[in-house]
């Protein structure tokens, strides 16, 4: 006799029975909500029954935190004191299980299979993010509503009902949807549910399971050791675009599968949109027929007998051809002559026509060629942006590529190169800014007579830019002043007062040019009253991926000699294309035997260059 009440719930009718319990349609008298009330029979042993109830409550509490459109909500759980039954109250969904639809031969369009798979993967991703793993994803635990929405049920119950091993080490239920780590007893996480979902989608696409066998041993061996078949090769007409997604979900090693359900949902949603581009009137549908046997026993379920075995096919009958002998021709020899002339070519043409394969042939989907061209064009533009040293533009161009070609190795390598270039540029700018700040602090301390502190600042500059000649000269001056008594200090630093020559200028002076360039390439020019003293190009770019030139920064150094006297030096900096970036005329009294430092400074490649000429006199 069926109970009329379990816990506080009033039983309305029976929904179904299983190996471990019964499902009722019940009503909560407190708020009037209708629920699906599932009861579970505890073990007969008292100690095992208590452990079962405690684990049941823990699993129900974990499932109760889940609130997602793709998951059947758990409202309540408890133990009925009158009957001793453990029960769980779940959201009541009007609809049928996916297993029932597959057995009844319900047709699914390929775009619907992608949509259902994406919805299930999204629900699993949400559950995994909450630390809940289902462990028993199969068609019987997936409900399809009359509106076509897919929901996963039995969260929190699957682990109790389908724990896969009894105390004697035997399987409970079918192992066809189990992951390799479940079969071998290894650690199970959310990627195990994605493997089981891959088996469900494989069966929807092909009408058979990927790891079928004649015995339990054969099925479990194939799950652990044999690769899954390719869906489109197993069943003609299956879009090949499903192959990489399904096969990645069915990888033996969890590390080789999708890491999260969100990645599966995203891939299937993109595929759904591509399939819908064909047009609803021409969308190929997959019809799943019921099995021929009246019942399917548990032993047959373990052997992997598929729930759908064939697709419907339509044959077109040719109308009968009229006989030549019934034509209204009286002379017999005319008919024989016509038959001798007409019939052999007609038969040959008919045989040739029958041997021609008329398809259907699945060519590229509409828009596929333009999509691929767009992906390749974006990758080429990103490579050009990298060659020009514009890492941000390269990353922006690669962003839409991930939606269309998420596994493109070319896009991945370009992304890595762009990130490395951006990091290098940011690091170079930070180093230059830090060095300039220390140099300015050292100059100020040198003017104030704080030699020790100035020395520390210049040493810091050289740690960042070891080849900076100006910082080296300042460091030597600071060290010299630190060694001299206070009364003997004499300003002879770069940028300080230089003695006016008392005699006519004689001899030559050395002018050193130094440029810590943020530019990848350019030209430095130096003239004296229209006479070209120096015109030297520089190029710090390197050969990178696919042979393109990668931008880089570097230090430009050179030196010239100049006769003593009053001069007006004109210094120019041009870009890689020859455009003028900056120019300045610098008057200077050149002293014979002296040294001068011409320094070009730019904060970044878009800044206006600054030019400075300072005397670096030899010390006695």
**Degrees, nearest 5: CA angle 183-186-192:** 70
C-beta neighbour count of 542 within 10 angstroms = 10
What percent of the chain is modeled with pLDDT above 90?
35
Distance CA 480, CA 286 (A): 89
Both 163 and 256 in one domain: the answer is yes
Which of 45-49, 337-341, 430-434 shows the lowest per-residue confidence on average (mean pLDDT)? 45-49
State the average pLDDT over residues 459-483.
84
Q: Same domain, yes or no, for 439 and 397?
A: yes
- Residue at 451 is within a domain: yes
395 shares its domain with 429: yes
In a domain, residue 341? The reply is no
pLDDT for 567 beyond 60: yes
Q: How far apart are CA 491 and CA 195, in angstroms?
A: 79
In a domain, 308, yes or no: no
Same domain as 213, residue 187: yes
pLDDT band at 474 (very low <50, low <70, confident <90, very high): confident
All residues at 6 or more sequence positions from 149 whose CB lies less than 8 Å from its CB, including other chains? 69, 70, 119
Task: Please check whether residue 327 lies inside any domain of the structure.
Answer: no
456 pLDDT above the threshold of 50: yes
227 and 145 in a common domain: yes
Is residue 321 in a domain?
no
Q: Are residues 416 and 520 in the same domain?
A: no
Backbone dihedral region of 156: left (phi > 0), alpha (psi from -120 to 50 degrees) or beta? left
Which residues pair with residue 556 across a beta bridge? Answer: 515
* Range with the poorest average pLDDT among 153-162, 345-354, 418-427: 153-162
First to last CA, the chain: 117
- Number of domains forming the structure of the chain: 4
pTM of the prediction?
A: 0.46
Same domain? For 466 and 579 the reply is no
Specify if 72 maps to a domain: yes
Q: Which of 63, 91, 119 is the last residue of a domain?
A: 91
CATH number at residue 587: 2.60.40
Q: Please give the average per-residue pLDDT across 312-340, as a whole number.
A: 55
Residue 360 inside a domain? The answer is no
Could you list the active site residues? 136
Span 520-549, pLDDT tens digits: 999 999 999 888 999 999 998 887 666 677
Question: Of 467, 496, 525, which closes a domain?
Answer: 496
Q: Tens digit of pLDDT for each residue in 154-177?
A: 876 655 444 433 333 334 336 899
- Structure tokens given for 587: 């008057």
Residue at a domain's end among 264, 280, 302: 302
Residue with tokens 């990627």: 191
Q: What is the pLDDT of residues 192-231, one digit of tens each?
A: 999 999 999 999 999 999 999 888 899 999 999 999 999 9
100 and 87 inside one domain: no
Please report, for the chain, how many H helices and E strands are present, in that order: 18, 21
pLDDT, residue 545, reads: 65
CATH number at residue 115: 1.10.510.10
Mean pLDDT computed over 499-512: 67
pLDDT class for 19, splitting at 50, 70, 90? Answer: low
Which one, of 139, 174, 166, lies nearest residue 154 by Cα? 139
Q: Are residues 524 and 482 in the same domain?
A: no
Distance, CA of 612 to CA of 511 (rounded, Å): 12
Is there a single domain that holds both residue 114 and residue 142?
yes
Across the chain, what does the average pLDDT equal? 80
DSSP codes, 184-252: HT----HHHHHHHHHHHHHHHHHSS-TT--SSHHHHHHHHHHSPPPPHHHHSTTS-TTHHHHHHHHT-S
pLDDT at 546: 66
Q: How far apart are CA 158 and CA 340, in angstroms?
A: 75
More confident residue, 225 or 82: 225
Whether residue 563 is contained in a domain is answered as yes
Element (H, E) at 102: helix 98-103
165: Cβ–Cβ under 8 A, 6 or more apart, which residues? 171, 172, 185
Q: Are residues 399 and 255 in the same domain?
A: no
* 147: pLDDT strictly greater than 70: yes
Instruction: Answer whether 553's CB lies under 8 Å from 428's CB.
Output: yes
C-alpha closest to that of 417 among 549, 517, 538, 521: 549
Query: Domain range for residue 415?
Result: 369-496
Q: Do 105 and 214 belong to one domain?
A: yes
């Amino acid at each position: 006799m069926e109970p009329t009440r379990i816990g506080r719930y009033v039983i309305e009718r029976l929904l179904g029975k299983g190996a471990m319990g019964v499902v009722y349609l019940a009503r909560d008298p407190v708020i009037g909500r209708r629920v699906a009330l599932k009861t579970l029979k505890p073990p007969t042993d008292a100690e095992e029954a208590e452990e079962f109830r405690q684990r049941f409550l823990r699993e129900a509490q974990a499932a109760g935190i889940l609130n997602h459109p793709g998951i059947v909500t758990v409202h309540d759980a408890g133990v009925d004191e009158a009957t001793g039954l453990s029960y769980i109250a779940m959201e009541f969904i009007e609809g049928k299980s996916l297993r029932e639809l597959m057995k009844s031969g319900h047709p699914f369009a390929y775009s619907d299979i992608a949509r259902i798979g994406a919805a299930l993967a999204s629900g699993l991703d949400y559950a995994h993010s909450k630390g809940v793993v289902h462990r028993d994803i199969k068609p019987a635990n997936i409900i399809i509503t009359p509106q076509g929405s897919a929901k996963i049920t039995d969260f929190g119950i699957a682990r109790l009902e389908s724990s896969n091993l009894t105390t004697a080490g035997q399987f409970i239920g079918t192992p066809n949807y189990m992951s390799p780590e479940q079969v071998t007893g290894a650690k199970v996480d959310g990627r195990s549910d994605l493997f089981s979902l891959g088996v469900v989608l494989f069966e929807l696409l092909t009408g058979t399971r990927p790891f079928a066998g004649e015995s339990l041993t054969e099925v479990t061996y194939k799950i652990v050791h044999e690769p899954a078949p390719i869906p489109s090769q197993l069943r003609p007409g299956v879009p090949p675009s499903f192959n990489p997604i399904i096969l990645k979900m069915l990888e033996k090693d969890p590390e080789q599968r999708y890491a999260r359900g969100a990645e599966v949902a995203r891939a299937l949603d993109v595929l759904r949109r591509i399939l819908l581009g064909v047009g609803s009137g021409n969308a190929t549908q997959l019809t799943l027929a019921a099995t021929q046997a009246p019942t399917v026993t548990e032993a047959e379920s373990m052997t992997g007998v598929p729930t759908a075995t064939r697709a419907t096919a339509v044959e077109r009958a040719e109308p009968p051809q009229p006989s030549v002998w019934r034509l209204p021709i009286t002379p017999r020899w005319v008919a024989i002559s016509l038959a001798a002339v007409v019939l052999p070519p007609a038969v040959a043409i008919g045989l040739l026509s029958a041997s021609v394969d008329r398809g259907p042939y699945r060519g590229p989907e509409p828009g596929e060629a333009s999509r691929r061209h767009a992906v390749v064009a974006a990758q080429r533009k990103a490579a050009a942006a990298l060659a020009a040293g514009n890492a941000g533009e390269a990353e922006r161009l690669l962003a839409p590529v991930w939606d269309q070609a998420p596994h493109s190795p070319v896009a991945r390598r370009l992304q890595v190169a762009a990130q490395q270039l951006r990091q290098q540029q940011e690091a170079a700018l930070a180093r230059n800014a830090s060095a300039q700040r220390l140099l300015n602090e050292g100059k100020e301390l040198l003017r104030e007579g704080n030699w020790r502190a100035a020395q520390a600042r210049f040493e810091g500059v050289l740690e960042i830019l070891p080849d900076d000649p100006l910082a080296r000269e300042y460091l030597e001056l600071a060290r010299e002043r630190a060694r001299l008594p206070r009364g003997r200090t004499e300003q002879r630093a770069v940028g300080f007062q230089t003695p006016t020559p008392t005699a006519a200028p004689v001899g030559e002076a050395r002018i050193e040019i130094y440029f810590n360039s943020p530019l990848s390439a350019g030209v430095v020019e130096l003239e004296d009253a229209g006479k070209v003293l120096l015109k030297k190009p520089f190029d710090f770019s390197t050969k990178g991926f696919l042979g393109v030139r990668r931008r880089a920064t570097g230090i430009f150094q050179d030196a010239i000699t100049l006769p003593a006297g009053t001069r007006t030096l004109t210094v120019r900096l041009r870009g890689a294309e020859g455009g003028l970036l900056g120019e300045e005329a610098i008057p200077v009294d050149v002293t014979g035997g002296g040294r001068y430092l011409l320094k070009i400074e730019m904060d970044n490649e878009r800044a206006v260059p600054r030019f400075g000429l300072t005397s670096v006199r030899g010390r006695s």
